[in-house]
Amino acid sequence: MNPFNIHKGIVIPLDRANVDTDAIIPKQFLKSIKKTGFGVNLFDEWRYLDHGEPGQDNSIRKINPNFVLNMPRYKDGSILIARENFGCGSSREHAPWALLDFGIKVVIAPSFADIFYGNCFKNGILPITLDKIIMDQIFKKVEDKIGYEITVNLQKQKIYYDLEIVSFEVDSFKKSCLLDGLDDIGLTLKNKIDIKNFEKEYHESFPWLNSGENLK
């Protein structure tokens, strides 16, 4: 995972609440066994007018000119803003993979669904929760100015837009993993002995939970 610290980029406004992971990346694309290549199908059903299937040549598909990702003014955007409960629904990590593959580095919304929120951090995307009133302000600014850019500083936990600065909250562990681009499996495995000891004691206390020896 790439480390994340400061990012400046064009803002793409997705003015919808409850954007679910089925919408972010429809199920037919989940059949891939890779982590890459999902970007062209990000928001597939909103972005194209025809039905998409994996492996298709997307350059010849009919695009929906009214969908934000297709509007020239948001070309090369890398910061997505949306409304409440972004990323609800399925746990599919294909959703952050698709956002990342498309070039999105930051998603800002008044609230996120839990699984999606966690999945973003694992993939070097920073999800930021901001107050609804500030979100309204940013939506307005994006509408008013073509190519509107903002800067996000994770270390300082601040967003800079025009002359304004707003702080955001982030869990300290998630923050440090993202700042350093850390592989958290490696980190957990540093506690190997703790886990082994715990496991032994645990199975002595609750032996019936290990009767799954009849598994494998």
Partner 1 sequence: MGISLYEKVFNRHVVRKDNDTYLLYIDRHLVHEVTSPQAFEGLRLANREIWRKNSILAVPDHNVPTTDRTVEIEDPVSKIQVETLDKNCEEFNLLQFKMNDQRQGIVHVVGPEQGSTLPGMTIVCGDSHTSTHGAFGAIAMGIGTSEVEHVLATQCLIVNKFKTMRISVNGKLQFGVTAKDIALAAIGRIGTAGGTGHAIEFSGTSIESLSMEGRMTLCNMAIEAGSRVGLIGVDKKTIEYIKDKPLAPKGVLWEEAKKDWLNLVSDKDVIFDSEVEIDGNLIEPQVTWGTSPEMVSSITSKIPNPGDCKDKTLSSSYQIALKYMDLKPNTPINEISIDKVFIGSCTNSRIEDLRAAASIVGTKRIAKNIKLALVVPGSGLVKLQAESEGLDKVFKNAGFEWREPGCSMCLAMNADKLGPGERCASTSNRNFEGRQGQGGRTHLVSPQMAAAAAIYGKFVDIRELN
Residues at the site binding partner 1, with contacts judged by CB under 8 A: 15-18, 20, 22-23, 26-28, 30-35, 45, 51, 54-55, 83-85, 88-93, 96, 111-115, 118-119, 122-123, 171-173, 183-185, 188-189, 191, 194-195, 198-199, 202, 206-216
The order of strands in the sheet holding 79-82 is: 126-129, 106-109, 79-82, 6-14, 149-153, 158-161, 164-167
User: Is the CB of 33 or the CB of 163 nearer to partner 1?
Assistant: 33
User: Is the CB of 162 or the CB of 183 nearer to partner 1?
Assistant: 183
User: Is the CB of 53 or the CB of 76 nearer to partner 1?
Assistant: 53
Sign of the torsion angle spanned by Cα atoms 15, 77, 37, 50: positive
Q: What angle do CA 81, 82, 85 make, to 5 degrees?
A: 135
User: Is the CB of 48 or the CB of 74 nearer to partner 1?
Assistant: 48
User: Is the CB of 9 or the CB of 128 nearer to partner 1?
Assistant: 128
Q: How far is the CB of 19 from partner 1 (least distance, A)?
A: 10
Q: How far is the CB of 120 from partner 1 (least distance, A)?
A: 9
Q: How far is the CB of 22 from partner 1 (least distance, A)?
A: 5
Place of tokens 């973003």: 120
Q: How far is the CB of 54 from partner 1 (least distance, A)?
A: 6
Q: How far is the CB of 28 from partner 1 (least distance, A)?
A: 7
